Amino acid sequence: MERYIRTDLAVELQEEISEKSLLQGVEIYTRYSKDKKIKETKIDVVDEQGAKILGKPIGTYITLESGELRGSDEDIHKPLVDMLHKNLKELIKENDKILVVGLGNREVTPDALGPYVVDNLYITRHLLSEGIIVNAREISAISPGVMAQTGIETGTILKALCKETNPDIIIAVDALAAREPTRLNSTIQLCDTGISPGAGVGNNRAVLNEETLGVKVIAVGVPTVISVPAIINQAIDNMLTVFSENGKNLSEGLTEEEKYSIATQLIEPDLAKMFVTPKNIDEAVKRISYTISEAINKFLELY
């Protein structure tokens, strides 16, 4: 099953669990700023039980949602940048030296989010070490490329790089997979538990986290794709619902996991490795990557 992504969004995983009483070890806070049109959801996985239930490691998962993000309403841009920066600041210490990692393949549009973010950052590490600027936050960055391009696990590249450059914290930006089409390109997820590069396009690589890299990893992700099984699952759900109207609901009592395993059996292996993405993905990725870059660039304004 692990090979097939249901969703990378904690907020969607908890939605799958109908009876909220069952969410033991998981604490959920929601805040909706009507004027800012942004919904902020904080999910704390506090213990192993919660981790098991949600299928996500112990840690904090923050989701910023805004339907506006998908349109070209610029009014949403600044408040979202501010809110994203605020949340990053809470996860990063005053003087932490930041290494931003742009995960993904810049040649595949929905997977180019990470590299695009890096393209728009103000990099200071070399300017500080050369004494060209002073008193600024140290920011370095890299877009290592994907394994098909380098032949090297991203984790291996980053582990090596951290040893030599000693950042205090990594901000890893990557494309994710969602279940709900409405969440594509309209949701930003932050978490402090690391990330598996390429999850967005269905490659499960070794996880990048403090354990594997020796440096704490803040993951910033935006769902830009939906996995094929997720879509099949939904269609089947809809169909079974139709049948159930005159008779027993065939899917009754099936867990999401079980439904996914049915879905994946109904499609060719080829398809399970493909992804679904909207036609305007180029504009969407360009716009959101810019929002994330701005939120990170604000770390330079502290001084």
CB of 221 to a copy of itself, least distance (A): 17
Count of residues interacting with a copy of itself (CB under 8 A): 69
Torsion of CA 124, 129, 131, 133, to 10 degrees: 10
Of positions 15, 16, 44, 153, contacts a copy of itself by CB under 8 A: 153
Instruction: Name the 3-class secondary structure at 119.
Output: helix
Residue 249 sits in the site that holds a copy of itself (CB under 8 A): no
Question: Following CA atoms 168, 26, 176, 254 in sequence, which dihedral angle do they give, to the nearest 10 degrees?
Answer: 150
| 36 token code pair | 């800012």
- What would the 3-class secondary structure string for 4-43 be? CCCCCCHHHHHHHCCCHHHCCCEEEEEEEECCCCEEEEEE
Tell me phi and psi for residue 128, to 5 degrees.
-70, -45
- Dihedrals φ, ψ of 242, to 5°? -55, -55
Q: Within 179-198, which residues bind a copy of itself (CB under 8 A)?
A: 181-182
Pairing verdict, β 38-45 and 187-191 = unpaired
Q: Which of residues 158-177 bind a copy of itself (CB under 8 A)?
A: 159-161, 163-165
Which is closer to a copy of itself, CB of 58 or CB of 300?
Answer: 300
Please state the closest distance from residue 69 (CB atom) to a copy of itself, in A. 15
Q: How far apart are CA 247 and CA 251, in angstroms?
A: 12
- Residue 270 binding a copy of itself, by CB under 8 A: yes
Positions in 19-58 near a copy of itself (CB under 8 A): none
228 is an interface residue for a copy of itself by CB under 8 A: yes
β-bridge pairing 169-178 and 98-102 = parallel
Segment contacting a copy of itself (CB under 8 A): 33-41, 58-66, 84-92, 229-237? 229-237
Q: Residue 219: CB partners within 8 Å, gap ≥ 6? A: 172, 173, 174, 189, 190, 191, 192, 193, 194, 195
Q: Which CB, 22 or 151, lies closer to a copy of itself?
A: 151
12 or 138: CB nearest a copy of itself = 138
The least distance separating a copy of itself from the CB of residue 275, rounded to whole angstroms, comes to 7
> Which x/- pattern over 59-88 shows residues binding a copy of itself (rule: CB under 8 A)?
-------------x----------------
CB 159 within 8 A of CB 208: no
**What does the buried/exposed string (b/e) look like for 9-35 if buried means 16 or more CB atoms within 10 Å of the residue's CB?**
bbbbbbeeeeeeeebebbeeeeeeeee
Q: 100 to 139, contacts with a copy of itself by CB under 8 A?
A: 105, 107-109, 111, 118-119, 122-127, 138-139
Among 16, 231, 249, 251, binds a copy of itself (CB under 8 A): 231
The least distance separating a copy of itself from the CB of residue 238, rounded to whole angstroms, comes to 5
Site residues, a copy of itself (CB under 8 A):
72, 105, 107-109, 111, 118-119, 122-127, 138-145, 147-153, 156-157, 159-161, 163-165, 181-182, 201-203, 226, 228, 231-232, 234-236, 238-239, 263, 266-268, 270-271, 273-283, 286
